[in-house]
Amino acid sequence: MAHETFEGIRDRMMPMLRLIASEYESRTPYGYPVVVDAVHEGTIGIEIDPSYALYIVANGPDIVADLYYRSSRTDARSSASREKFSGQPASDRRSLPPIPTDQALRNLIAEIMSRYNAQPGLIHITDS
């Protein structure tokens, strides 16, 4: 049952992931974005660049969403009681419902896109 559900998710998600890849092609490092379509291995997803990725993974009978991103050094929710390092990788694993809606899948894609779009730019300091 999980295999059929995973293939159904793949059939619904791949057009979305390919569209995102084509839109981000000119905004990402060379060789990215990469659309991962390894349904036989239980993984589909998109790698926007080396630090931002979304994978949907068949984990035994469960299907989970893995979001990988870098945290920025500016975070209004950090405090003196909790240390936070800039560029620290975050791996966020979430269980998906047995049959996720298209909206839930689009929200996962939108979240990784938002994190990529909101990352601080690189600032080069030069003498003038």
Residue 107 lies inside a defined structural domain of this protein: yes
Give tens-digit pLDDT for 5-59: 888 899 999 999 999 999 999 888 889 999 999 988 999 999 998 889 999 999 8
Q: Which residue has the higher pLDDT, 80 or 9?
A: 9
**What is the number of structural domains in the chain?**
1
Domain contains 127: no
Range of the domain at 50: 2-74+85-117
Distances (CA, A) of 8 to 48, 67, 101, 107: 23, 20, 11, 17
The encoded tokens of residue 53 equal 């990725």
pTM across the whole model = 0.81
For residue 123, being part of any structural domain is answered with: no
Q: Is the pLDDT of residue 72 over 90?
A: no
Give a yes or no: residue 18 inside a domain.
yes
Q: Is residue 80 part of a domain?
A: no
125 inside domain: no
